[in-house]
Amino acid sequence: MRKYTRLLLLALFLVMMPAVNAAATVVYESPQEVNDFEEVRITLNGANLRVQNGSGMSVEIYNITGVKVADYRIDSNDKTIRLELNRGCYIIKVGKTVRKISIL
């Protein structure tokens, strides 16, 4: 039984090696992206959510279980939104920027 287990582990290791090498090669060959725009800033002051540099994007708010509870469209470069949320933890997503907030 011990010999069978060792043989199985060796076979599994040998099968996984090419996948690891291929993934490492892809990472090294990936092109560099140039970030020409400013990063989205999300700040919370009480129940006011301020989003900067997010013009044309949308704000998605999820509760801690992953259910979307609100969705807002950002129409200017500096937008303040009054949140009408219950107390708890929420996840804010603007484009690719994600932040966790707590409403007390």
Q: Is the pLDDT of residue 6 over 70?
A: yes
User: Side chain identity at 57, as an amino acid letter?
Assistant: M
Task: For 50, list phi and psi in degrees, rounded to 5.
Answer: -110, 130
Span 33-56, mean pLDDT?
A: 82
- Better pLDDT: 63 or 28: 63
Q: What is the band of 48 on the pLDDT scale with cuts at 50, 70, 90?
A: very high
C-alpha–C-alpha distance, residues 67 and 69, integer Å: 6
The third-level CATH classification (topology) of the domain covering 38-103 is: Immunoglobulin-like (2.60.40)
C-alpha–C-alpha distance, residues 104 and 41, integer Å: 21
pLDDT at 22: 39
pLDDT at 29: 39
Q: What is the band of 14 on the pLDDT scale with cuts at 50, 70, 90?
A: low
Which residues are 79's β-sheet partners?
51
Q: What share of the chain in percent tops pLDDT 70? A: 73
Is residue 38 within 8 Å of 95, Cβ to Cβ?
no
pTM: predicted TM-score of the whole model, two decimal places: 0.62
- Better pLDDT: 8 or 14: 8
Output the average pLDDT for the chain: 79
